[in-house]
Amino acid sequence: MTATATPTDAARPPEAAHAATARATAGARPSESMIDLVRDVLHDLPGLVGDRVELFSLELHRAGLALVKVLAMTVAAAILGVTAWLAVWSILVGLLMAAGWHWAAANGLVVLINIGAAAYAVMRARRLMSHLSLPATRQHLSLGSGSSTRPSESESPPHEHRPVPEQPAAAA
């Protein structure tokens, strides 16, 4: 939008003409006081918050339904995985029996392999349990730990701050 100069504009100082042009280019909206702007924002605030709360509620509902479906698919996958596992071991037992093994010995081998794998899984899980307590975060956030900055050189283990020896430059 362009402003045209009128005879009254010529009598005004240039700042006033510039302000009038700015108002005209801003949509010809009359200047509002700060109180009116604050009142408008406060008037619109419940609607803005309400919309976001409704969106949050709808997304939580959708996420809940998705979680139920994910759990159902996980249960189905676990059941199918277990039946496949049993089928693999029954095929192995059948092959061992066809190779001349007694059925008890073939089943015993399968049981020993499964017990060994289960023991390994339990030991590994027990080692990982210490990570669930978030030890580094708890140490960093504990009140009696002193400073929240990095430890000084005297407190750090010797392997962290080893000086790198300088190597002499090769003669050219």
13-60 confidence digits (pLDDT tens)? 555 555 555 555 555 455 678 888 888 888 887 777 788 888 889 999
At residue 157's C-alpha, the angle toward residues 156 and 163, to 5°, is 90
* Phi (first) and psi of residue 169, to 5 degrees: -70, 140
The answer to whether 145 touches 139, Cβ cutoff 8 Å, is: yes
Q: What is the dihedral of CA 68, 70, 76, 81, to 10 degrees?
A: -150
Residue 86 in this model has a pLDDT that exceeds 90: yes
Q: What is the pLDDT of residue 146?
A: 54
Tokens of 38: 């604050």
**Band (156; pLDDT cuts 50, 70, 90):** very low
